[in-house]
C-alpha cells in the first residue's frame, strides 16, 4: 500500500496546481493506498527555518514547534510526497518555499561531504508546478534546482511544469495537464 502526502503551496485550495497534485496522488495510490492533503496556507502558526543547526547535532528533526513540524513528520513517514505550487514572480510560492526550507532537517549532519546526505533515502518526490507564462522553459532553472535538492536528499524525484493559459483555453489545458500528470505519477 502506497502512502502519499500532498503538500500544496497555492494559497487557494481549489487552484490548478492543487487539482493536478490531487490527480497525481490518485494515480500514485491507484485506489490501494493512503493519501493525505495539506494546504500550507491553512496552517496558522508557521515559522521559517531559523538556521539554528539543532537538526544537525542535538536532534534528527527540526526543533521548531509549530504547525509545520507535524507535517514534516508525516512527509518523512510517507512513501511519496507530492509538492505543488503555481509560479509567482518567477518562483514557487512563499508558502511552499517555507516548507521546503524546513526540510533542511532531512539532511544528515555531514551532508556537505557525505555522498548519501539525506535521512530519507529511497522515497519518491513529485513536484508539480503551474504557470501562466506560455513558454514552459522560462523557469526551468528553478524547477531543476528543486529537483536537485530533493534528489540530493535521496528521493527519486520527478517534476513537471504545466502551462495553464488564462482565457478561453484554460479548462482544456488543465484537463490535458491532468492526464499528463497522472501518467507521470504512474511512472514514478
pLDDT at 154 over 80: yes
In the chain, % of residues over pLDDT 70: 99
CA angle at 161 for the pair 21 and 50, rounded to the nearest 5° = 75
Give me Rg for the CA atoms of the chain. Answer: 16
Strands (E), 9-100: 33-39, 80-88, 91-92
Identify the pLDDT of residue 165: 87
Residue that has been written with the C-alpha cell 496558522 in this structure: 44
Q: Hey, is 86 helix, strand or coil?
A: strand
Q: How confident is the model at residue 74 (pLDDT cuts 50, 70, 90)?
A: very high
In eight-state DSSP terms, residue 28 is H
pLDDT at 99 over 80: yes
**For the residues 61-78, what does the mean pLDDT come to?**
95
User: Is pLDDT at 188 greater than 90 in this prediction?
Assistant: no
Q: Give the Cα separation of 32 and 28 in Å (integer).
A: 9
Domain extent listing, the chain: 2-187
Q: DSSP 3-state assignment of 126?
A: strand
Please tell us whether the domain made up of 2-187 is placed in CATH 3.40.50.150: no
Q: Taking a C-beta distance cutoff of 8 angstroms, is the pair 18, 95 a contact?
A: no
Task: Kindly report the pTM of this predicted structure.
Answer: 0.95
Choice among 26-30, 47-51, 98-102, 104-108 with the minimum mean pLDDT = 26-30
Separation of alpha carbons 181 and 176, rounded Å: 9
Mind spelling out the 3-state secondary structure of 36-77?
EEEEHHHCCCCCCCCCCCHHHCCCCCCCCCCCHHHHHHHHHH
Grade residue 166 by pLDDT with cuts at 50, 70 and 90: confident
pLDDT digits (tens, 9 = 90+) for 8-37: 999 999 999 999 999 999 999 987 777 899
Amino acid at each position: 500500500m502506497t502512502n502519499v502526502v500532498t503538500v500544496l503551496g497555492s494559497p487557494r485550495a481549489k487552484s490548478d496546481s492543487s487539482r493536478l497534485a490531487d490527480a497525481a496522488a490518485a494515480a500514485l495510490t491507484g485506489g490501494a493506498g493512503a493519501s493525505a492533503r495539506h494546504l500550507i496556507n491553512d496552517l496558522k502558526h508557521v515559522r521559517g527555518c531559523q538556521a539554528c543547526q539543532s537538526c544537525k547535532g542535538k536532534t534528527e528533526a527540526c526543533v521548531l514547534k509549530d504547525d509545520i513540524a507535524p507535517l514534516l513528520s508525516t512527509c518523512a513517514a510517507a512513501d511519496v510526497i507530492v509538492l505543488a505550487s503555481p509560479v509567482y514572480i518567477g518562483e514557487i510560492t512563499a508558502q511552499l518555499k517555507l516548507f521546503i526550507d524546513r526540510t533542511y532537517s532531512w539532511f544528515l549532519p555531514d551532508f556537505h561531504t557525505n555522498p548519501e546526505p539525506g535521512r530519507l533515502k529511497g522515497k519518491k518526490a513529485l513536484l508539480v508546478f503551474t504557470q501562466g507564462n506560455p513558454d514552459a522553459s522560462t523557469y526551468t532553472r528553478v524547477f531543476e534546482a528543486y529537483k536537485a535538492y530533493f534528489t540530493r536528499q535521496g528521493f527519486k524525484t520527478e517534476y513537471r511544469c504545466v502551462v495553464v493559459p488564462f482565457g478561453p483555453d484554460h479548462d482544456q489545458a488543465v484537463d490535458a495537464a491532468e492526464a499528463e500528470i497522472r501518467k507521470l505519477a504512474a511512472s514514478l
